[in-house]
Amino acid sequence: MKLFHAHPRVVSLLCSALAVAALAPRLRADPLPIDLAHYAAQPGLTAVAGSDELTVTWAGADHTEMRARYAVEQGQPLIRELAVRRGEGGWSVLGTNLTAEFAVQTGHRRIDFAGLAPLRLLGVDVTSQAVIEHEAWVSFWDAPFVVPGDPKRNPGPIRTASEVQRATGTFATNACTVTSDGARLEVNFPGLTMGIFSGGIRFTHYRGASLLRVEAIATTQKNLVAYKYAIALKGLSLATLPRTRWLDTGGNPQDYQFGGAIHDSPVTVRAKNRVMVAEGPGGSIAVFPPPTVFFPAREVDTNLGYVWFRKDSASQYSIGVKQADREDNPRFLENFAVYNAPPGTMQRMAAYFYLSPDDAATTRAAVMAFTHNDIFQPLPGYKTFVNHFHLRFTDTLRASGSLDTQTPDLAAMKALGINIVGLSDFHDDQLAQSDPGPKRFADQHDYIEGTRRASDTDFLVAPWEEPSTYFGGHTNLMNARPI
């Protein structure tokens, strides 16, 4: 007797779901007191408390709905389930029994030579501890993780390996607080300890967006702390999401299907646009860092790899975000960008996860919409302007044999929707910046002529200078004619 007929893909999905259920039994959760005093239910953003779990449901993009069920297991916050559906369709479970993994690396801030020089000229006592501490927070040529460092750049005691500390987050959680804040719903778990930091973990849900923000919010009382962090969603099942996908820096599709060995450490992925997607037959989860605050100022703009995966067992893996270990170019090791953590300030170490019922390509496109595909959008009546780039522009043109040569840096800026580029050459390149006569005029002639030829109807390359030889410091000048 024929009981029913199902499409082969439906049967496949059903079997996969049953397999996941068999592999991931319900864990024994701790009792979970849930504080709802600051929660207000609203359409598309609700929280329902049980005796040992909290269920949050929120409306996402493109007629989708997300569901997250939270619990605590042996003091550890647990995402018992992440699920998504489109319209009134059935729920597709993307993950079960997931945990958020946090890691931090800390070092000690030092004053740099660039901050000391002008202070000495002003007669400031640079041996004062108050001055040293104030200037150390804003040092550009400081790399707290480079041991022993360069005493010419950072005067004072030589760095030691003991200054650099690494720690992973541990939890002793026994409660949960739910807070409504406009179109956001925040779920907070206290009890996080991570090296010199202590605080809690927050999950943020956004009505109308298929986003889940995961962050550690923590503080330290130690002084002159610089740090970087890593976050992962741990426990993803190969039966549910069997592969990760991304675009490499050249824009070529790449994937990893976890057919190799178990990993001892995170596998850094240099993904274009900082996005990687875990994909399966029932949907996908994209991971990416906060798009602006994750990137402090650096001397160079190479992609060092900010997303990662790690195969943890034969059946599970993790995905997350992290800052790089160091600069690629040895020339710039001594000013690697990290975060400051002044004593008592709340530091927010975050990552975003985008939940989708679609495949990786569709999900990635949805993530890129948040940053307009990383392109500056035109604003009527305005031009997009950037400044202070040391491209050694004239050196490059002369080496090519033609002032008409197109340079990759300017081509990349134009492709990003930039209209005006203020160069800052004559800073430390080989041009005759200190020559008061014929050599300097010849250099300026080629500099100005080269920028004129590189400009277009809606793309202006301005021949600014950073004439440090004459004025010291970091001064930009744009002159009406060669001087």
**Could you write out the DSSP letters of every residue in 118-129?**
HHHHTT--TT-H
Check the CA dihedral 179-296-166-139 and report its sign: negative
Residue 21 has pLDDT above 80, yes or no: no
Cα–Cα distances (Å) from 421 to 76, 234, 414, 426, in that order, read 50, 43, 9, 16
CA distance 15 to 281: 12
CA distance 149 to 331: 13
Residue 151 has pLDDT above 90, yes or no: no
Q: What pTM value is reported for the model?
A: 0.89
Residues 217-226: what's their mean pLDDT? 97
Phi, psi of 157 (to 5 degrees): -60, 140
Residue 349 has a pLDDT of 97
The encoded tokens of residue 17 equal 């779901």
Question: Furthest-apart CA pair in the chain: how many Å?
Answer: 100
CA distance 326 to 334: 9
Asked if residue 60 lies in contact with residue 354, where contact means CB atoms within 8 angstroms, the answer is no
Residue 6 has pLDDT above 70, yes or no: no
pLDDT digits (tens, 9 = 90+) for 397-441: 999 999 999 999 999 999 999 999 999 887 766 677 677 778 888
Q: Name the band, by pLDDT with cuts 50, 70 and 90, for residue 310.
A: very high
The three-state secondary structure class of 99 is: strand
Residue 181 has a pLDDT of 96
Residue 428 has a pLDDT of 66
pLDDT digits (tens, 9 = 90+) for 27-53: 567 889 999 999 999 999 999 999 899
Least confident segment among 439-443, 450-454, 471-475: 471-475
CA distance 363 to 404: 41
The three-state secondary structure class of 357 is: coil
Q: Rounded mean pLDDT of the chain? A: 90
Q: Name the band, by pLDDT with cuts 50, 70 and 90, for residue 472.
A: low
Q: Name the band, by pLDDT with cuts 50, 70 and 90, for residue 466.
A: confident
Share of the chain above pLDDT 90, in %: 70
Can you give the residue ranges of every domain in the chain?
26-105+167-373, 385-471
CB-based contacts of 462: which residues, under 8 Å, 6+ apart? 420, 421, 422, 423, 451, 478
Residue 20 has pLDDT above 60, yes or no: no
Q: How far apart are the first and last CA of the chain?
A: 95
Residue 217 pairs in a beta bridge with 200, 348
Query: By CB neighbour count within 10 A (0-12 exposed, 13-18 middle, 19+ buried), where does 139 fall?
Result: buried
Tell which residue, 78, 304, 47, 307, has the closest CA to residue 171.
78
The encoded tokens of residue 433 equal 């910046």
Residue 390 has a pLDDT of 87
Residues 286-293: what's their mean pLDDT? 93
Query: Higher-confidence residue: 390 or 355?
Result: 355
In sequence order, what DSSP letters do the residues of 146-159 get, joined into one string? SSS--TTTS-SSPP
Asked if residue 316 lies in contact with residue 99, where contact means CB atoms within 8 angstroms, the answer is no
Query: Higher-confidence residue: 331 or 182?
Result: 182
Residue 17 has a pLDDT of 40
Q: Name the band, by pLDDT with cuts 50, 70 and 90, for residue 1.
A: very low
Residue 342, preceding bond cis, omega within 30 degrees?
A: no
Query: Higher-confidence residue: 264 or 7?
Result: 264
Residue 22 has a pLDDT of 40
Could you say which of 2.70.98.10, 2.30.290.10, 3.40.50.720, 3.20.20.140 is the CATH number of the domain covering 26-105+167-373? 2.70.98.10
Residue 212 has pLDDT above 70, yes or no: yes
Residue 27 has a pLDDT of 52
Residues 377-394: what's their mean pLDDT? 93
Residue 211 has a pLDDT of 98
Helix ranges (DSSP H) in 310-421: 360-368, 393-400, 408-415
Residue 176 has pLDDT above 60, yes or no: yes
